[in-house]
Amino acid sequence: MRGFLIFLAFAFPVVLVSPFFWSLVNMNFGAERVGYGHKTANGGMVTQWATLGPKAPWPGWAVVPEGTRLTVRANFEAAPAPGLNATGYGDIDGKASARSVASRYEDTLRRAGWSVRVGRFDALSPDIPPRPIHSCILEARRGAQVQRMSVAIDETETAGSLWWTVGEAKFPIGTTDKPCWGR
């Protein structure tokens, strides 16, 4: 035990001065700016900058569903290379049912002039034994702006994610164009 305490006495100050430690703290409680290097088709490199963490920016045009709380996870800036669009995502949760939140969200987006597509995603989890996954995917488009909400169908409370991008976006693979709740 004494050896472990001596180790902690030396390791703790080293951890506190480490920029990697503070970067992880910022990613979980603040906002951390990071750059991701990508190779281009001609062999060059381009950097896509991102802000990670709950205090990362969220664009004003990306609507947050009424009755939910958004925790931003990432905001990626556009980079000068194909496929590196501005994009971001976060988690949502709320006390109202996912069905009522999705219905109000769809109505809000349609009234605001968005083109809305609703689909259902059904799959099995990779757990052993597998369990069913049922999600409602609500995607809205206006010009180059795209936003998408995904919520678990079987939940009495809302738990899911929001995602946005500016640029090309494909509807999630495996999502069918059938109503989530048989409306």
Residue 130 pLDDT: 93
Residue 112 pLDDT: 94
Q: Is residue 13 packed enough to be buried (19+ CB in 10 Å), middle (13-18) or exposed (0-12)?
A: exposed
Residue 77 pLDDT: 93
- 136 sits in which H/E element: strand 132-142
Residues 64-114: tens digit of each pLDDT: 999 899 999 999 998 877 778 999 999 999 998 888 999 999 999 999 999
Residue 71 pLDDT: 96
Residue 17 pLDDT: 65
The residue extents of the domains of the chain are: 55-176
b (16+ CB within 10 A) / e for 112-143: eebebebbbbeeeeeeeeeeeeebbbbbbeee
> For 87, how many CA atoms within 13 A lie in the half-sphere containing its CB?
14
- Residue 77 near residue 49 (C-beta atoms within 8 A): yes
Residues of the chain with pLDDT under 50: 183
Residue 12 pLDDT: 64
Residue 8 pLDDT: 64
Report d(CA 78, CA 56) in Å as an integer.
15
